[in-house]
Chains A and B, each alone.
Chain A
Amino acid sequence: METKKKFDFTKLLAPAVLLLLYAFFSIFGTNFFSTDYIINILDGSYYIGFMAIGVTFVIITGGIDLSLGTTMMCAALIGGYAFNSWHWPMGFALAFAVVVATLIGLLNGILVAYLKLPPFIATLGTQMMGMGFGAIVTKVQTMRYPTFGTAEGFFKNFFYKTTSGFPVGVLWLAGFFIIGMILLNGTRFGRYTFALGSNREAARLSGIKTKPWLAAVYTFSGFCCGLAAIFYAAVYTSIIPSTGNGQETLAIAGVVIGGTSMSGGTGTLMGTLIGVFVMSVLKQGLMSMGLQSHWQTFFTGAVVIGAVLLDQYRLKRGNQIS
């Protein structure tokens, strides 16, 4: 039976929230409505954006990856250690960071797809393991990446800001978003991601090898955390051991605000992109109001709850139509 196509106003919600937040902070924040702050917002969104791209795939399969934040930090720490203590060239050190994160993602994939652990538990475990592992390897030292102008500081110009001050990171993020969209909507990998989340059993009974594909999704999420690590290092320079947990909520909240359902099967990367900026605007906006990081933490939590409530509402409505 065909039902009349009604315009789904919930689709407009994420952009509306983004604009409202921006307007709110422009009025109440100090100097928020300025190019400086826009650049701050962009800078703060690179690493969240890369994590969010990967976890969008995971959430579309109906899973979750809680290890994003510590995987990113672990990779950044180990990359920094390779650079500082093993004196690897910068390029190799960064590539190594991506490899480390991808391996953590693969571990998540094996735990979830082959050993059938609930994704929540598996990635909660690897979250702790990643956090500990980074600290163990670096012997609990803060890892410093080179700053602008130093010999190996070129990587900051390359990934973060050109010498003329252009925020080049936004191009990388935009480029990778486009790659992500092609991957999600135009390839077998993306099609299987949707199939796994929409009805895993039907996919299996259609002859799709669900285990390797599901593991691949988690591995991809790890790979994205590795990319996030590069941008985190480029923007923030110092990587402190035993941090990173909590960062995943920013990415996951961004994904959910962007309309990807926690129960799997639906989602868009365009939504995720908007969701990431919502989180980033929120973070920078609270700062512009002079509120400290504990306020950010508080509001991030509230936004996550709000986003999941919205998701449930959407699901209920979606089911009524069918």
Chain B
Amino acid sequence: MSDMLLQMQGIHKRFPGVHALNDVSLEVRAGEVHALVGENGAGKSTLMKVLNGIYKKDAGTIHYKGSEVEIDGPLQARKLGIGMIHQELNLMPHLTVAENIFIGKEPKKMGPFLDKARANAEAETLLKSLKLDIPPTTIVKNLTVAKQQMVEIVKALSYESELLVMDEPTAALTESEVVELFRFINQLRDSGHGIIYITHRLDELWQITDRITVMRDGQYVGTVNTDETNKDEIISMMVGRVIYEEPKQKNNVAADAPVVLEVKNLVAHNAKDISFKLRKGEILGFAGLMGAGRTETMRALFGADPITAGEVYLDGKKIEIKSPSDAVKYGLGYLSEDRKAFGLATGLSVQDNCVMADIPTYSKGFFMDEKKISRVAGEYVEKINIRTPSVSQLVKRLSGGNQQKIVVAKWLVRNCNILIFDEPTRGIDVGAKSEIYKLMNQLAEQGKSIIMISSELPELLRMSDRIIVMCEGCITGELDIAEASQKNIMTYATMRM
């Protein structure tokens, strides 16, 4: 086809232990808005990083405007005419619109001096040609987020980009701003630009896109014309038919099991009016897309971030958690999604990390009780099968799965009754995954209560007794495991309140 702008065919990308892209193809025509959708971890970002030259593909071809290209880096991608608009804006808020557009290629006069007048004039011409009513001398931080988004797009266009990649451009926009942005995108389509549009908001697909490509688990699922499909079909393409983990059949927790933790109307950053109950011995799953507010809710509950409003009850008694040390005192443990940043001191030994949450118990007065520490660390290394040559090994020398188990060990040593697992299996291999699952089930059987945040639906369906679904800071649904399916979770997860 002559108007084919981009053809990516048979793209493969492997990382150690992961086949991140497996035979993925994507075609974008000139004058088309082409959506790229898939669950978290489906490989969308990886594919875009290959297109932008940040990752080198292991196999496959990229044709741009009819000729085969090898893209070594973002600079070259830009030279070819591929512009990236990232989710986080890359504008300098204290500079003007014109200065931002021409950053790195400022018009000059008389040698090294900046030609502000020309920059402003050229920016104005560019903005006018796109029918944007933004004065080029405005300071960027005074613009609305939508307008900033457009400046970012104009900046990409100023490199004569014909293909634009927009990564969740509406994530930070209000309803009316979305309309404004869509009008602008439509205009770009009419002027013959090709646009790859990545989004998690499935409803948007029918407002703005022409075709949709779906990815799942690093694989290409299919491309459909937007007006010939519907949301249900897209969701089933996204989650697939293949369920590689047997889901749990029924809730293992008796309906009258005591409520150990109750959260009432909790408000915090990206958590709006969250209420839920956690029962003894229950694994409560939290589903949602990236940015749904699950981690924020749990961090606020744990005292890691401030709570604006809300009440927390432990075994029916009201408690105040103002800091993580309060939470730990009440028997809560939090396993962060980013264990290297928040979970472990990787430069310290296995045993130091194991007792990190319970140092007073493992010291005699002011002095550390090294014997007791290495004994308890050794005990847990054996109990949960941490593969390490010794308890004095530095944590950074262990694999991801073993590191994760050390975080678990830390909270087990502390003897926590309520454990919050935030993405417990992220970045660890399949074998370690099933060991973590086994461990979680054992803990639940012992009467510990677990909150599990996960972006992997099969994992939630396999582990949870009950699933709470969040979207944009709100709880949008609650499902007993017997009625939960990937489909109805995704429906709630994309529901805007």
Residue B192 CB within 8 A of the other chain = no
Contact residues in A for B398 (Cβ distance below 8 Å): 1-2
Please measure, in the bound complex, the distance between the C-alpha atom of A322 and the C-alpha atom of B368, giving whole angstroms: 27
Contact residues in B for A192 (Cβ distance below 8 Å): 359
Number of contacting residues on B, CB 8 A? 38
Majority secondary structure of chain B interface residues (helix, strand, loop or mixed): mixed
Please measure, in the bound complex, the distance between the C-alpha atom of A209 and the C-alpha atom of B368, giving whole angstroms: 17
Contact mask for chain B residues 312-356; partner A; CB cutoff 8 A; 1 contact, 0 none: 000000000001110111000010100001111111100010001
Contact mask for chain A residues 183-221; partner B; CB cutoff 8 A; 1 contact, 0 none: 000111111101100110111111111000000000000
Residue A54 CB within 8 A of the other chain = no
Please measure, in the bound complex, the distance between the C-alpha atom of A202 and the C-alpha atom of B397, giving whole angstroms: 18
Closest Cβ neighbor of B340 among chain A residues = A199
Contact residues in B for A194 (Cβ distance below 8 Å): 345, 347-348, 352
Residue A266 CB within 8 A of the other chain = yes
Please measure, in the bound complex, the distance between the C-alpha atom of A1 and the C-alpha atom of B393, giving whole angstroms: 11
Known A202-B345, A266-B347: A207·B366 in contact at CB below 8 Å: no
Question: Are B324 and A1 in contact, CB atoms less than 8 angstroms apart?
Answer: no
Question: Are A208 and B356 in contact, CB atoms less than 8 angstroms apart?
Answer: yes
Question: Are A202 and B359 in contact, CB atoms less than 8 angstroms apart?
Answer: no
Question: Are B345 and A199 in contact, CB atoms less than 8 angstroms apart?
Answer: yes
Q: Which of A1, A202, A208, A321 contacts B325 (CB 8 A)?
A: A208
Question: Are A199 and B302 in contact, CB atoms less than 8 angstroms apart?
Answer: no
Contact residues in A for B388 (Cβ distance below 8 Å): 2
Contact residues in B for A1 (Cβ distance below 8 Å): 397-399
Contact residues in B for A198 (Cβ distance below 8 Å): 345-348
Contact residues in A for B215 (Cβ distance below 8 Å): none
The residue in A188, A198, A206 that gathers the most chain B C-beta atoms within 10 A of its C-beta is: A206
Question: Are A206 and B366 in contact, CB atoms less than 8 angstroms apart?
Answer: no
| A97 vs chain B, min Cβ distance (A) | 26
Contact residues in B for A188 (Cβ distance below 8 Å): 359-360, 363, 366-368
Residue A265 CB within 8 A of the other chain = yes
Q: Which of A190, A203, A265 contacts B347 (CB 8 A)?
A: A265
Question: Are A321 and B366 in contact, CB atoms less than 8 angstroms apart?
Answer: no
A-B contact pairs, 19 of them (CB 8 A): A1-B397, A1-B398, A2-B389, A186-B367, A186-B368, A188-B360, A189-B366, A191-B352, A191-B368, A192-B359, A194-B348, A195-B356, A201-B341, A205-B304, A205-B343, A206-B328, A206-B410, A208-B359, A322-B397
Residue B116 CB within 8 A of the other chain = no
Q: Which of B328, B345, B346, B370 contacts A207 (CB 8 A)?
A: B328
Contact residues in A for B359 (Cβ distance below 8 Å): 188, 191-192, 208
Residue A3 CB within 8 A of the other chain = yes
Please measure, in the bound complex, the distance between the C-alpha atom of A191 and the C-alpha atom of B352, giving whole angstroms: 8
Known A2-B397, A201-B342: A206·B356 in contact at CB below 8 Å: yes
| A167 vs chain B, min Cβ distance (A) | 32
Contact residues in A for B487 (Cβ distance below 8 Å): none
Please measure, in the bound complex, the distance between the C-alpha atom of A188 and the C-alpha atom of B399, giving whole angstroms: 28
| B363 vs chain A, min Cβ distance (A) | 5
Question: Are B345 and A265 in contact, CB atoms less than 8 angstroms apart?
Answer: yes
| B342 vs chain A, min Cβ distance (A) | 5
| A269 vs chain B, min Cβ distance (A) | 16
Known: A186-B367, A206-B324. 14 other contacts (CB 8 A): A1-B398, A3-B397, A188-B363, A194-B347, A194-B348, A198-B347, A201-B341, A202-B345, A204-B325, A205-B343, A206-B410, A207-B414, A208-B357, A265-B345
| B414 vs chain A, min Cβ distance (A) | 8
Please measure, in the bound complex, the distance between the C-alpha atom of A202 and the C-alpha atom of B340, giving whole angstroms: 8
- 8 A-B pairs with the lowest CB-CB distances in the bound complex, closest first: A207-B328, A198-B345, A322-B396, A206-B357, A265-B347, A199-B345, A207-B325, A206-B356
Please measure, in the bound complex, the distance between the C-alpha atom of A207 and the C-alpha atom of B347, giving whole angstroms: 19
Please measure, in the bound complex, the distance between the C-alpha atom of A191 and the C-alpha atom of B360, giving whole angstroms: 11
Closest Cβ neighbor of B388 among chain A residues = A2
Please measure, in the bound complex, the distance between the C-alpha atom of A246 and the C-alpha atom of B106, giving whole angstroms: 44
Contact mask for chain A residues 139-158; partner B; CB cutoff 8 A; 1 contact, 0 none: 00000000000000000000
Q: Which of B334, B366, B389 contacts A205 (CB 8 A)?
A: B334
Contact residues in B for A187 (Cβ distance below 8 Å): 363, 366-368
Known A188-B359, A207-B327, A208-B359: A322·B342 in contact at CB below 8 Å: no
